[in-house]
Structure formats: structure tokens, C-alpha cells
Structure 1
Amino acid sequence: MILDPGAHIDPEGHIDSDAAIGVLGLLAGALFERFTLQRNLVDLDDTCLHLTTALSLSPNDALRAPILAKLGTGVSTRFDMIGRMSDLDKAIQYHRQSLRLVGIEKLPSWCGTDIVQEVIDIGDQARKPLPDGHPSLVGIEHNLAFLHLHTAEPMLERAFFLFRQAVGEETGSAKERLSVAVDWSSCARSYGHPSTEDAYSHAMQQLNRCLVAYSTVDSQHEFLARPLTCIECSNLIADAASFAIQNEHYNKAVEIIEQGRTFIWSRMRRYHHPLDQLRRADSIRAAEFQRLSGDIERFAVTFESGSFSIPFSGTLSAHISFTPTRSPFHWHRELAEEWRNKLDNIRANVPGFRDFLQPLPFLRLWRAAVDGPVIIINHSSHRSDALVIIKKSQTVLCVPLPGDLDALWRLQESIGTHTYLYRSSTQMRIFGVREGVNRTENNTVYVLRGVWRGIVEPIVTLLRSHGVPEMSRIWWCPTGMLGILPIHAAGPYSPGSGKDVPDIYISSYTPTLSVLITAREVLKGADDHTPNLLFVGVSSSPRFTSLPSVRVECDVTRTFVPQGKTLLDEKVRSKNVLAELPNHSWVHFASHAAHSIDQPFDSSIILYDEEEFQLREFMMAHSTHARLAILSACDSAALSKSTPDEVLHLSAAI
């Protein structure tokens, strides 16, 4: 859609002012939204220009007041960007004019009064005429809450009452209320206020509500990744968990981390949840629920990939009609509502399924440790800890971590760049790095030593003290960017300094405890059978270096697992891989891979003739008897820095 204000000028040059103002407002709003995403100053300048034009066309005060308020916001934002003092003066002027036009005439003088108190008085005046449920209340109460924290003597109870009230305004958008809740939790924690835990809880609820509004995995990822105005929620889950740990509520911390990570995977997993138990209890409800789940998942994964021929189920496709008034997203909302109704129906009417697809409480999460301890590593700006779950104790043991974990993952990340610098000689000493070391030497050893000292050593000490035998299995669950650290290989790596992790325990990783529990349940109900392996190998590709050992790798693999199909070089086409995946319990890829930093769903395995098998295709390639996947490919477990807790990479998808 192209918004053209000139379209409302008739042949004789007369302007339909009402229509032009409306179009100018829409155009300004769209430009400002694009500015918030791309931070392009040209869009912000154009926003202010179109609002100024709309203001000049406004015939009455009722129209001028909201335009002045938006114009004030625009020039104030520009002041934040470039620091031009005239913009700040204009912002104050525009907001004052807007207030006068809505009947707030008696503005206190700036002279001889507390500036913050004056703004509070203005905010209270603006709030009074608004009826309950007015959508503007969220923003006003949010601002007033902040202001009450910055008076000569902070009015804490009033401030946190306003934060709570703003979050509870049901007519406000979930995004606005998320912004309020994040600020509430941060401020409450800073002041040691008893509402902190409640604030974190509200923030997580609003984050979930925001994601419900996005239909596809791409749009959900974009929401989680982009810097939203006034919202900094990338560390929300880690901070909430660290607060629970600070108060020694370790079980609660585990639940927070479990529910707050891998939002996208968790939603997708609900749509292809194993239904064997439900099928045995109620086959009709199971079949209908599976059909609805499949249609929602196909829409979520394929719609924004450019594939519009979505293979919806036959019973549904007959009545799908995409028109200008009924878009695919209208249909998706209806389908999602039907799915939720079916879910409620199953919980209410099928015995034993009251908690079907509910987040697991700790009483069930601890079962992830039945085959070995699970170690969750949480890193926040407030503190860093390992939460260790051991089967025999059925409780959580907390190990405070002494290392500078931010410096550790940055050090690991830097190994992939041409050069890297240590910020201080202190960090060099902490990680065992010698002065003057350059990249040509074995930098990996220094990372492994740093991970040992900063994370692993105190955990190993605890495991040994609780009788966890050497060479038994343990599971690591690192959060955030700690996921790029080679925790499984850490150690002192120095003669006489003791064993390294590979010589002490057998390490595995899991993104969440639920994934581990579900995988074991699937295996428990599966029939024993001889594995059949699909081997997919590409030894050469024009844009990439050749991989001459792929055929050797295939031959060696086949000596151990002779059963199954082999696809090599020219046979490695996307359609062939998709056709064979459901027929095999094991799969082995030997090829190049490409990691997309900004669009992780476009990350791919490189097939023959540079055809790409993308992450989203892995998400759709279900196999009811899948058991083992081997990815002999670079970058197959690379994390996205903008959303590390989503674990969006090829290894997780397959």
C-alpha cells in the first residue's frame, strides 16, 4: 500500500483536509515504526515533516492536540538521536500546546518549583479526564511511576502502585504492558521492593502474550531479536531466575528458566507433541487435535519463507479462502482459537489429561536427572550460578560461579575472527593467557582453562562430593551466549594439574529439561529395531572448499551401520532428502553448512549444486521413529547473538 497525500487534492487544487490529515498520520506512523526497527534518521525526519504538514491542515483544536503530541514525541526522539537542543525545546513547546488544547490551562511555572513534581502534576491532570479502560492510561501511568521514583524523596509505594496499575490495564497493548513490567522489575529490584517477584512474573506473562500475536516463527523471532523502544527484555529470564536464586528459591528458578527459554521451539513442539497416550485414551480427539496442530505448524514455518502453496489438510483446505478482507492471518487466528478450544476440551474431558501441554512443574522437571545430573548454568548481570539437579536428592543444589562469564564467551567468540584483544591484563591472568599471545598459537587452550576455572571446576567438586561416579553421564544446559562455550572439553590442560572434563564425565547437552524428558518418553515407548541410516554427503560445491574425505567417511560409517540409503553428490537434492528422512531412524550429514546471523531460519545444509536445505525444512521433516542425527558440518550449532536462548540452529532443528 502506497500512502500519497497528494491523492486528496482535486483537479482545481482544493485539498480534502480531513482525508489528507488521516493519510499523513498513517504515513508518519508507518515511517516512525520503520525508524524504530532500522534507526534510519531520514525516516524520523520524514515523520516530523508529515506531522508538521498535517498540523498546518488541521482546522480545529480536537485534531491539532494529538498531532502536536505525536510531533513532540518525534522531535524528542530526534534529540535523543543527535542531541540538537532546538529539538528538545520544540518537544516541550509542542507538548505544552497539546495540553492546553485539551483543557489543561494552568501549568505550573518552571521557576521555583521541583521540575519533576511539576511534570507529575501535569500527568495527574492529563489522567483525570480519562475513563477507566482508556488505552492511553498505560503510557501515562508508566511515566508517572518513573517520575515518582525521581522526586526529592522517592515515593516508592506510589511508584510501584502505578507500575502495577499500568500492567493491569487490559485495554493496553501487550507490548506496552511488557515495557511497563520490564521497567517495574528492574526498578523494584534496584530499590529492594517486595513487588520484584510479582513484576518478573507479569513481565513473563506479557512476553508470552506478545508472542501469541505473531503467527509465524519468523515474526516471533523478529519480535524477540529487535530492539523495541523502551523495552530491554533480552535478559529478562536470566534476571528473573537470578532473583529467585538470590532468595534461595532454587526450584522456582529452574521453572523460570524452563518456561522462559526456547519460546519458539516450545510453541512448535506443542504442535507435533507425541500423541500416543492421547490416542490410546481418545482416538477421535487425538486425530482432530493432530490435524489442527499440523495446519498451524505448516503455516508458521512456511508462510514467510516465500512458499505460498502450503499443503494444508484436505478437510480444512476446502473452506480456506484468502481475499483482501480475509487474509491468511485472519484464518490463522481462527484456526489458533479452534486449536485452543480443542486443547481446553481435551484437558476438561479426557481423564488424566488435565495438565496436557502445560509447562512442567519442578515436581516433574527433576525427572530429567534420572539418567545423570543436569547442570543449568544461568548468567545475569546480577549474578551467575549453576543449578545442579541430582536424582537421589530430588532437589536443586546451587553453585555460585566466580568467573567473568561475559569475558569468557566473548573470548571464545573472538577465536573465529582475524584478531582479538583482551580488555585487561587482569582478564589475561584469570584465563591463563600470556602477554603477547597472538592468534597463531593455540588460543582454544586458554578458553578451555577459563571455562574450567570460571564454571566447571566448582561444579565438578560438588558432583564428586555427592558421590557422582567418574565416567558417568552428565547433562549441561547453558543459557544465553554461554551456549557457545566448549564446557564439555574444559580443563586445566597443564601437567600435574589434574584431569580435564572428558577424563572425568561423559558430557551431553540439552536446550531444556522438557526436551530431555520428552525424548526419553518417546524412546521408552518405541519398539526395539535395527537402526537404518540415511547418509547424505556432498564432497564438492562451487563456492566452498572441497571435502575429499566425505566418501571415506561414508564407507567407514557403513561398516558400522550397513542398513539404509546413501545419497552422495548429484543425488543430494532437497526433494530426495525430504523423501528419505521419514524412512530412517538415523541420519548422517557430511557437507558444508551456512549460518544466517540475522535470519536463523535461513541457516542451511549445502546440498549438491549449492541447493540449500534450510532450518525451516528440518522443522517440518518429522519422523515418528527418529533416534540419532550426526551433523558433520561447520556452523551447525552456531547461536544467534540477538536471541541466544532460542537456540535457533541446525542441530536443534534436527
Structure 2
Amino acid sequence: MNAESGYRSTSIGYDGKWKRGDVHNTLGKESKAEELETEGSRMDIDDHQSAEDFDALGRSLLREFGQNGTLNNLEQSIECFSRALDLTPDGHPDISRRHASLGASYTDRYRRLGQLTDQEKAIECHTRALALTPDGHPDMPRRLADLGVSYTDRYQRLGELTDLEKAIECDTRALALTPDGHPDMSEWHANLGVSYTDKYQRLGELVDLEKAIECHIRALALTPDGHPDMSRRHASLGVSYADRYRRLGELVDLEKAIGCKTYALALTPDGHPNMSERQAGLGVSYTDRYGCLGELVDLEKAIKCHTRALLLTPRGHPDMLERHANLGVSYTDLYQHFGELTDLRKAIKCHTRALAVTPDGHPYLPGQHLRYALSLLRQYDRTPRLVCLTKSLRSFRMASQHFSGAPRDKFQHALQWAKSAIISNLLNPIEAYQTAIDLLPQFIWLGATTNQRYQDLSLSDNLAVNACFAAIQCSNYPLALEWLEHTRCVVWNQSMMLRSPLDQLHSSYPDLAMQLGSISSQLHTHGFDAQPVLPAASDPMTPERVGQQRRRLASEYHSLLAHTRRLPGFENFLQPVKANRLISAARNGLVVVLNCHTDSCDALVIMPGHDQVAHLPLPSFTQQKARWARSELDASLGKAGLRQRGVRPVYRTDSKDSFERVLGALWNNIVQPVLNHLGFLDNTPRDHLPHITWCPTGLLTFLPLHAAGDYSQPQSRTYNYVISSYVPTITALLVSTPSEFSRGCRVLAIGQAATRGQNPLPGTTKELAHVKARMHNKAEYSQLTDSQATTAAVLDAMEQHNWVHLACHANQNVKDPIKSGFHLHDGTLDLSAINRR
């Protein structure tokens, strides 16, 4: 399995817990409980016993179950607690505790048998217990913690994010109500740590993982030596260290994880119900270390741990699916190491069994189908039987299209499907990429901050380029254009969607338009909120609550969009633009879209007045050549002191030669073939050059196509034949209609001839003069130059104008794209500040 769950406890249950918070209610009854326990083990429970007797016996039976895992003890404890509750009158001071005790037993039975009815009963009991506990009562933290445990259990089974948010709220409140030094403080920290672990695994926000680690470290520090929870504390911390290793790749985190899990296993006595879980957790980390270092001893340890864990897991236990799955992963690794077909067959057998015991709707089901699909592909490689591909395709579909599971996981499954489809068209690469593209808005969703969405985009693994290439290979050029457009500038397009005018909707459904506009505005604001690591629980608008509100708004927004698209005439409301609309963007000249793939480069050409997309293969240019060109260009500019625009220093001969090699490669492999295909090399009028708008992808966006050429030969440069422009997406051209200049359009020009800390740009004065002349009698023109162009002044002016022309230095921040910006008189105006407006 790729992820592990944390470990939580209820008020009575696993690890032989008998909570200190309940001791004051049971002092003096232990001998009676032991007596009743002995009698209960050899005869039916007496109907005439008192509520107190049933309660005490139920506690003893539940404690026994926690120590030895005997299911009969758990069943009898539920019967005892139910009878104790029936015999307790309303208003009795113990009524709240009786509900909590019964809830704890239902929780343990749910964890043992996996029946959702028990889980729902547990939530019902703990909700009642909480409602019956008055404010200020010393048991209030315990009631909150127990309810939080149940919400976490339901989240882990059904995957509903609202349950996880409720769990975090309960855990946070329990901590806030507990004074420092209280013996339960370690448990509350541990529970909150598990919730943050689950949240990280669901949403991928690193801040939640850091919170989880901090909580688990605090819980461990507050747990005294010899405490029965010490094993669980180490195990939970180990899970979080393992998660951080998988995220950041730091081996030290993996070693910490193995150390924690090894210690947790050593502290767990033989015969303890949690022994299988401890073995499985350690086995997962050995698998991770094998994958990192390739040491066979780690793989052998992993198989040993997973085999033991499987043997120790009772039949029908809900964790059985994970036991089979983990062992299957290790056998797959063993097969890949030695190539023995018997190991692969063992892996497939494990994954088959895991699927057989996974309930429909379980959040782990998609991941299990992915593992099964990949194992079948490996079998197909060795024994090419069509049935392997057929079954593999079925499981790939389930892995990425099933209703259960986290969107970020299903998106990765779809990418894996698409990669695997390279080996055979029978795996339907078009369907695979379409599935991934359909999942992209759920993965890069509006419920995350802008920063998080940009981070998640790094996991999309060149989706735009690869999907476009797959569509081109199938000769579906309109689809290639659509996919490339839909999967680029994702976060920026989402921001623009939130600011889209709703005039048409407002004219037909004004109330719906008002509601959608309000939520859009709030989402736009919330998208930039940062979250500190540990919020104060007393703050009514903690970062956790801000995040919850943002996710709620995102859900409401998508629900409203879905509702709107079911209305007549609004089926395509705010939908991605289709190819026929994209083709219409080529109004003022040719548009050439360049897709640079690992294997080759392709040009998609849109010509004015045509309704088809033309394709031109450019096989001589690949991603590898693009990387070379980018590296050479950076090096030559650095040597020449040209990393910034401005006054040109003296060239060095070697840097000039390198620069010209790059320009020559771009000319020979891309620009010249395109111009030749268009017939421009022979028939271009020198007094009226045609216009090409280049729309490059990937590394090509950093390369100067407009300056490409063989500078040792005459008439062998781009600008000899065409006037070049660039555009990030085709959609950007759709809004740049000439008619907009005739409707009171306002144009703002910004010029910075001299900016502190930057090279001078003396040409900006002439540049703005040209812009001003072009706008005469066409649009209202304004400009801010030099000291006038402060960040505040420019930002305010932007809101009052339709178009902005910037003639100044700028920087691109690859690690944090929204910090990219323009260098003005008093500082940098970044995209984050612009987009907030």
C-alpha cells in the first residue's frame, strides 16, 4: 500500500486501555467486576443484575477483548453496556458515560468486523454522550475525543472529507479544554496527529503532515515509560515520518520511520490484537527502503513482516485487504528483482484476494485495482495472453473511474493507465488520457490554496504534452488541440473562471447568477490564504476553519455549476473551450501550436478561414534537444552578462557562437520546416510580412523562435519572413477582438527606463510612444512611467483599464509561480497581488 493509517484509541478498547478519566466512576467496583467477569465466563448474564453491575462487567469484558482479541468478550460487552443503559433512567449522572461505553464497544466491533452499522451506532452513542455532558464537565474532552475517533473511522471507510473535518474539530476542542499536565493530554495530541495524517494523505498539503509529526512528537513526549499506549505512539509517529519520506525523499525520515516502527513492535506483547498491525507497518517501511536502496535484505524483511501480519489477522477482519495487498507489492518487487514467474503469480494471487475482500465503495478499492492491473501487465509481458490486457483494462478503469477514492489518487491512477497504454492500443490510451483530464479539476481543485494547486501541478507529469502527443498519434488533431488547451495554465484559468462575467446567466436566472457570483468572489479571496503550522484553538477563524470554509465553498461552487449546466441553453456554461471555438482564434494571422514530446516535436497549425487543424511533424526536435538548447542559451547569456534586459555589454566569442548554435537549431528543426510547409519561404512579400502567433509548450516557451535563424546565411532568419507574437494559450486570443477598441476601451502603458537594481531600459520611452500612436482615435490611452509607476499606483490603474502594456523588467519564479512579477519603481508587483484584485 502507498499510505498507512494512523492509530487511534477510544475510551475503552484496544491495547488494554482503561482510561483514567473513568476511574473515579468505578473505584470500589473492581473486585465486583472481577467477580462478575468470572461468573459471566461460565454462565449466562443474570437479568436481575443492576445497571452498575452490567456496566462494570461490560468494562471488564471490553478490557479482556483489548488484551486478547476474543470476539465473544466484545459481543458480551455490548450486551452488558446495552442492558446497563436500558436500566439507567433519564437524568441519571451516569447516563452520558453509559452511552460513551456502549459507543466504545461498537467502535471496537466495527474495527474488528468492518460492519458500517456498528460504526453508525458508535457515532450515535458518542453524539448522545456529548449532548448529555454539561459544559465545564471534566468528561467533556473525553466525549469530544471519542466522537472524533468515530468520525475518523467513518472517514477512513467512506472517504467523506466532512467527517475528517469534524474529527479535527473534535480533537482540537478536546485539546483546548484539557489543562496542561492532564494525563489524557498525550492521547488528545495523538488523535489530532492521526487526523492531520489522514488530511495530508487526502489533500497533499505538506503543512498538515508537519502538524501531524509535531502532534505525535508531543504525544510521545507526554507518554510515560511503561504506558500501554507507548507502542501506539511510536507506530503513529513512524507513519508520519514514512509519509514525509515519500513526499520529500529524505532517507533520514525513512530511517526514523523504521526506528519508530521497530520500537513499536518490540513493545507489543505476543498475542496482542495489534501485533499484525505493527508487523504490517514495519513491512511497509522495509518495502520503501528496498525501493530506495535496492538492498535485497530489506525486501526479505518486508516479506517476512507482511507474511506474519497476514497470519495474525483474523478471518473477516477489515484490515485483511491491506495485508494481502502489502504482501502482493513485496512479491511484485521480488519478481522484478529476480524475474521468477512464480513470484509474479504469488503477487497476482495476493491482489486477487485483496480485491475479493474489499467492499464496494471502500476508498482503498481504486488503489487495489491499480495494483492488480499493473500485475496483469507484467504477466502479459512474460506470457502475452489477450485476457491479461482485457482484465488489466477493466481494473485500470475501476482504479480511475470508480466513485470511491480520493481524486488525487485516482488522477495518479489514470496517469499510470495512460503510461501503460503505450504498450498496446488495446488499453485505450485515448480513454486513459480523457479520464486523467476529466479528473484534473478535481485534483487541482478550488478547495485548495493557489500555492497548493501549483505544487500539485508538479505531479501532473507533463500531462498536457503527453496527452497531446497521444491524440496526434491517433491522428485526432482537434482533440490534441483541446487537450493541450485544457491542461495548460490550469490554476490561472481557474482564477479567470471565478471572475468570468455572468451576464447571460443573470438575464435568465438572476438569483442563481447572484449566488454563483457571491461564491466565486469568496473563493477567489480564500484561494490565497496561507496556513500557519499550529493554529490557536481559541481563535474562531483558525487556518483550519479557513480551509474548511474554502473547501465548503468549492463544493458549493461545483454543485451550482453542475446545476446550471442542466438548465436549457447552459449545457456548456464555463466548460472548457471546444476545438471549433479554438480554431476561430486565428482571425488576424496564423497560429502555430508547438508540442515538444520526448520522442518528437509536432506543430498544430490553425489558419484563418479554415475549420480544420493541420499537423506538421517535426521529428528532428525532441525534449532532449530542447533541454540542450535551454542549457546552452542560459550559459551563453550568463557568460555575456545578458541575464537581464537592458544595455548590452560586450559579447564574448564563445558565448556568441553558442548562442548562434541554438538559434540555428531552432531554425533548422522548427521554424524553417513550418515556414516551408506554409509556403512562406518562396512567396512572402517583403513589404507586408504575414503574422504568426506561436503557442509553444514545455521548454520551448523559454526559446526565442522569433530570432531563430542561420546567421551565417542571408535570408535565413524568422524575421525575414514573418512577424512573430507569442501567446500562452489559444483561449487568450479569443478575447482579443478588434471590436473591443471601438467600445470605449481604455489602454494603460507602464514604462520603467531605469529601475533600481536592474539594467537600464532606454528603449522603453520609444516603445511607449509607438503604443500611444497606435491607440490614437482607437482607445483612451494612459501611461505611468518611472517614479509614477509604483506598485500601488499600477495596481489601482489596472482596475480602471481594459488593456495593460508593460515595458519593464520582470522575473519568473519557477518554484512559486504566483511570486513572478514586474519590477516597478518601488518594488515588484507579483501575480499574486494582481490576481487578488
Q: TM-score, normalised by structure 2?
A: 0.62
Equivalent-residue separation in structure 2 for 1:413 and 1:510 (angstroms): 19
Matched with 1:311 is none
Matched with 1:643 is none
Relative CO higher for 1 or 2, CA cutoff 8 Å, sep ≥ 6? Answer: 1
Q: Is the 8 A contact 2:752 2:807 kept in 1?
A: yes
Matched with 1:3 is 215
Q: Is the 8 A contact 2:753 2:765 kept in 1?
A: no
With over 3 angstroms needed to count, the CA separation of the structure-2 counterparts of 1:40 and 1:246, relative to structure 1, is same
Equivalent-residue separation in structure 1 for 2:504 and 2:222 (angstroms): 68
1:65 aligned residue (276, 280, 293): 276
Q: Is the 8 A contact 1:536 1:566 kept in 2?
A: yes
Equivalent-residue separation in structure 1 for 2:364 and 2:504 (angstroms): 48
How far 1:142 moved relative to its partner?
1.8
With over 3 angstroms needed to count, the CA separation of the structure-2 counterparts of 1:139 and 1:193, relative to structure 1, is same
Q: Kindly report which structure 2 residues correspond to 1:240-251, keeping only aligned pairs within 5 A, or say none.
A: 240-251=467-478
Q: Is the 8 A contact 1:242 1:382 kept in 2?
A: no
1:15 aligned residue (227, 251, 273): 227
**Letter of the 2:678 counterpart:** L
Task: Provide, for residues 593-627 of structure 1, a one-character-per-residue CA deviation record: whole Å limited to 9, x for no partner.
Answer: 33323112112323345x33212112234xxxxxx
Task: Provide, for residues 518-566 of structure 1, a one-character-per-residue CA deviation record: whole Å limited to 9, x for no partner.
Answer: 332xx5356444855443537242xx24527388558856984795353
Matched with 2:674 is 459
Matched with 2:529 is 303
**Letter of the 1:144 counterpart:** Y
Q: Kindly report which structure 2 residues correspond to 1:432-471, keeping only aligned pairs within 5 A, or say none.
A: 439-464=654-679, 471=689
1:204 aligned residue (437, 451, 455): 437
The answer to which of 544-553 and 147-156 deviates more is 544-553
Q: Kindly report which structure 2 residues correspond to 1:228-239, keeping only aligned pairs within 5 A, or say none.
A: 233-239=460-466
Q: Does 1:367 align with 2:584?
A: yes
Equivalent-residue separation in structure 2 for 1:450 and 1:101 (angstroms): 64
Cα RMSD of the aligned pairs, angstroms, is 3.6
Q: Kindly report which structure 2 residues correspond to 1:325-344, keeping only aligned pairs within 5 A, or say none.
A: 327-344=545-562
Matched with 1:86 is 297
Equivalent-residue separation in structure 2 for 1:150 and 1:31 (angstroms): 31
Matched with 1:492 is 710
Q: Is the 8 A contact 2:692 2:722 kept in 1?
A: yes
Matched with 2:482 is 255
Equivalent-residue separation in structure 2 for 1:194 and 1:358 (angstroms): 28
How far 1:137 moved relative to its partner?
2.8
| Secondary structure in structure 2 of the residue aligned to 1:171 | coil
Q: Is the 8 A contact 2:589 2:690 kept in 1?
A: yes
2:347 aligned residue (112, 119, 122): 119
How far 1:395 moved relative to its partner?
0.7
Q: Kindly report which structure 2 residues correspond to 1:103-502, keeping only aligned pairs within 5 A, or say none.
A: 114-151=342-379, 152-154=382-384, 155-212=388-445, 214-225=447-458, 233-279=460-506, 285-300=512-527, 302-304=528-530, 322-323=540-541, 327-349=545-567, 352-418=569-635, 439-464=654-679, 471-496=689-714, 498-502=715-719
With over 3 angstroms needed to count, the CA separation of the structure-2 counterparts of 1:36 and 1:377, relative to structure 1, is same
Equivalent-residue separation in structure 2 for 1:530 and 1:211 (angstroms): 34
Task: Provide, for residues 287-343 of structure 1, a one-character-per-residue CA deviation record: whole Å limited to 9, x for no partner.
Answer: 44333322211221x31399xxxxxxxxxxxxxx95459611111122223323443
1:579 aligned residue (782, 796, 799): 796
Equivalent-residue separation in structure 2 for 1:170 and 1:223 (angstroms): 21
**Letter of the 2:698 counterpart:** G
Task: Provide, for residues 7-30 of structure 1, a one-character-per-residue CA deviation record: whole Å limited to 9, x for no partner.
Answer: 46889744142xx45544443333
Q: Kindly report which structure 2 residues correspond to 1:521-600, keeping only aligned pairs within 5 A, or say none.
A: 524-525=739-740, 527-529=742-744, 533-537=748-752, 539-541=754-756, 544-545=757-758, 547=760, 549=762, 560=773, 564-569=782-787, 571-585=788-802, 587-600=804-817
Task: Provide, for residues 364-402 of structure 1, a one-character-per-residue CA deviation record: whole Å limited to 9, x for no partner.
Answer: 221112322221111222442111122333111111112
Equivalent-residue separation in structure 2 for 1:475 and 1:510 (angstroms): 7
How far 1:438 moved relative to its partner?
6.4
**Letter of the 1:200 counterpart:** Y
How far 1:263 moved relative to its partner?
1.1
Task: Provide, for residues 488-547 of structure 1, a one-character-per-residue CA deviation record: whole Å limited to 9, x for no partner.
Answer: 222333435x45222222222222222211332xx5356444855443537242xx2452
Matched with 1:634 is none
Q: Does 1:95 align with 2:306?
A: yes
Equivalent-residue separation in structure 1 for 2:771 and 2:579 (angstroms): 42
**Letter of the 1:462 counterpart:** H
How far 1:222 moved relative to its partner?
0.5
With over 3 angstroms needed to count, the CA separation of the structure-2 counterparts of 1:4 and 1:411, relative to structure 1, is closer
How far 1:278 moved relative to its partner?
4.3
Q: Is the 8 A contact 2:684 2:690 kept in 1?
A: yes
**Letter of the 1:614 counterpart:** D
Structure holding more helix per residue: 2
With over 3 angstroms needed to count, the CA separation of the structure-2 counterparts of 1:62 and 1:195, relative to structure 1, is farther
**Letter of the 1:413 counterpart:** R
How far 1:466 moved relative to its partner?
13
How far 1:587 moved relative to its partner?
4.0
1:39 aligned residue (249, 256, 259): 249
How far 1:98 moved relative to its partner?
1.7
How far 1:271 moved relative to its partner?
0.9
With over 3 angstroms needed to count, the CA separation of the structure-2 counterparts of 1:518 and 1:344, relative to structure 1, is farther
| Secondary structure in structure 1 of the residue aligned to 2:558 | helix
Q: Is the 8 A contact 1:408 1:447 kept in 2?
A: no
The answer to which of 27-36 and 88-97 deviates more is 27-36
Equivalent-residue separation in structure 2 for 1:237 and 1:465 (angstroms): 29
Equivalent-residue separation in structure 2 for 1:61 and 1:287 (angstroms): 59
Q: Is the 8 A contact 1:216 1:299 kept in 2?
A: yes
Task: Provide, for residues 340-363 of structure 1, a one-character-per-residue CA deviation record: whole Å limited to 9, x for no partner.
Answer: 3443454445x6433121112222
State the structure with more CA Rg. 2
Structure 2, unaligned stretches of length 5 or more? Answer: 1-210, 316-322, 533-538, 638-651
Equivalent-residue separation in structure 2 for 1:419 and 1:261 (angstroms): 29
Q: Is the 8 A contact 1:604 1:613 kept in 2?
A: yes
Task: Provide, for residues 115-135 of structure 1, a one-character-per-residue CA deviation record: whole Å limited to 9, x for no partner.
Answer: 211222222233322222233
Equivalent-residue separation in structure 2 for 1:513 and 1:546 (angstroms): 33
Point out 4+ residue stretches in structure 1 off by more than 6 angstroms.
8-12, 104-113, 465-469
Equivalent-residue separation in structure 1 for 2:457 and 2:239 (angstroms): 22
How far 1:270 moved relative to its partner?
0.4
Matched with 1:615 is 831
**Letter of the 2:829 counterpart:** F
What percentage of residue pairs aligned between the two structures are identical?
Answer: 25
Equivalent-residue separation in structure 2 for 1:546 and 1:480 (angstroms): 28
Equivalent-residue separation in structure 2 for 1:159 and 1:492 (angstroms): 50
| Secondary structure in structure 2 of the residue aligned to 1:605 | strand
Q: Is the 8 A contact 1:539 1:547 kept in 2?
A: yes
| Secondary structure in structure 1 of the residue aligned to 2:451 | helix
Matched with 2:263 is 53
How far 1:224 moved relative to its partner?
1.4
The answer to which of 366-375 and 79-88 deviates more is 79-88
| Secondary structure in structure 2 of the residue aligned to 1:215 | coil
**Letter of the 2:256 counterpart:** D
Q: Is the 8 A contact 1:25 1:54 kept in 2?
A: yes
| Secondary structure in structure 1 of the residue aligned to 2:402 | coil
Equivalent-residue separation in structure 2 for 1:353 and 1:524 (angstroms): 25
The answer to which of 554-563 and 444-453 deviates more is 554-563
With over 3 angstroms needed to count, the CA separation of the structure-2 counterparts of 1:488 and 1:303, relative to structure 1, is same
How far 1:221 moved relative to its partner?
0.7
With over 3 angstroms needed to count, the CA separation of the structure-2 counterparts of 1:270 and 1:10, relative to structure 1, is closer
| Secondary structure in structure 2 of the residue aligned to 1:539 | coil
How far 1:258 moved relative to its partner?
1.5
Q: TM-score, normalised by structure 1?
A: 0.78
